[in-house]
Amino acid sequence: MAAEMKCVGVVGGGQMGSGIAQLAAMNGLDVWLMDADQDALSRATAAISSSVNRFVSKGLLSKEVGEDAMRRLRLTSNLEDLRSADIIVEAIVESEDVKKKLFKDLDAIAKSSAILASNTSSISITRLASATQRPTQVIGMHFMNPPPVMKLVEIIRGADTSEETFLATKSLAERFGKTTVCSQDYAGFIVNRILMPMINEAFHTLYTGVATKEDIDSGMRHGTNHPMGPLELADLIGLDVCLSIMRVLQEGLGDSKYAPCPLLVQYVDAGRLGRKRGLGVYDYRKKQPVTTP
């Protein structure tokens, strides 16, 4: 079915949504990228163009395919423009209520054969599907940040997701050049269930004064060959996203070991959300990192 897919809709023009739209466009699909905020759409276009140029300049994409990708990309603030899409991938804020409302709206406008996919990092696909009249066609399609570069797409089957929907989504991810893994629908799925407790533990390590942020990150980079340390990675992902995933894990799995570290909570309360705000664990507004309180 993915080979027959011609048009992908993406809702949400942030880091994840723009990256997913870029992947679809670079792989020969027509794309509608929707965001209610015009500034977000402008930032998304700039990010996609710069990322496509990086692929072209490294010889990983021909100039023609890069130009074709930019032509295939259409931006809109009107959800109804996504009605021609064969699959719509949602990449909006990690709030179950907001996502459920969107799924209800998408169910009303999408063509009857369309798959509705969520890029949620941890929210239940089964519950999102319950907001629609097509639970067999609802699925989790979880890209890793940054989507154009990271090799994995985690596919999450809700309680009612059909085999046809699963196979079509897996095949689309493979068309994007990704490796897929399949997870059942339990809080955090595979990757975040393992990754977020590690990031949370890094915050505890900082909070309890075991080591500086630089040494925690250097320790994990050089000691375990991770490309980034856990605190740098938290800044890349967004501290608010990390916090919301820890809360989903704590609530969904009912174990106090998933309680978010107070320092992570405090940073989010202070608006230190990571790279996207210029300040997280590290300060991206200056060359040198700030001293952690």
Annotated binding site for NAD(+): 12-17, 35, 94, 99, 121, 145, 276
Residue from 167, 228, 259, 290 in contact with ligand 3HC (CB under 6 A): 228
Q: To the nearest whole angstrom, how small is the minimum distance from the Cβ of residue 184 to ligand 3HC?
A: 17
Residue from 11, 40, 85, 233 in contact with ligand 3HC (CB under 6 A): 233
Size of the site for ligand 3HC (CB under 6 A): 19
Footprint of ligand 3HC on residues 41-80 (CB under 6 A)? 51, 54-55, 58
Residue from 12, 17, 148, 274 in contact with ligand 3HC (CB under 6 A): 148
Footprint of ligand 3HC on residues 245-274 (CB under 6 A)? none
Under the binding rule (CB under 6 A), the answer on residue 85 touching ligand 3HC is no
In DSSP notation, the chain reads -GGG--EEEEE--SHHHHHHHHHHHHTT-EEEEE-S-HHHHHHHHHHHHHHHHHHHHTTSS-HHHHHHHHHHEEEES-GGGGGG-SEEEE---S-HHHHHHHHHHHHHHS-TT-EEEE--SSS-HHHHHTTSS-GGGEEEEEEPSSTTT--EEEEEE-TT--HHHHHHHHHHHHHTT-EEEEEESSTTTTHHHHHHHHHHHHHHHHHTTSS-HHHHHHHHHHHH--SS-HHHHHHHH-HHHHHHHHHHHHHHH--GGGPPPHHHHHHHHTT--BGGGTBSSSBTTSSSPPPP-
Residue from 241, 243, 261, 264 in contact with ligand 3HC (CB under 6 A): 241
The pattern of x and - marking residues 183 through 222 that bind ligand 3HC according to CB under 6 A reads --------xx--x---------------------------
Catalytic residue among 18, 192, 200, 244: 192
Segment near ligand 3HC (CB under 6 A); pick from 95-103, 217-225, 233-241, 278-286: 233-241
Q: Are 289 and 214 in contact (CB under 8 A)?
A: yes
- Residues annotated as catalytic are 121, 142, 154, 192
- Interface residues with ligand 3HC (CB under 6 A) are 51, 54-55, 58, 121, 144-146, 148-150, 191-192, 195, 227-228, 233, 237, 241
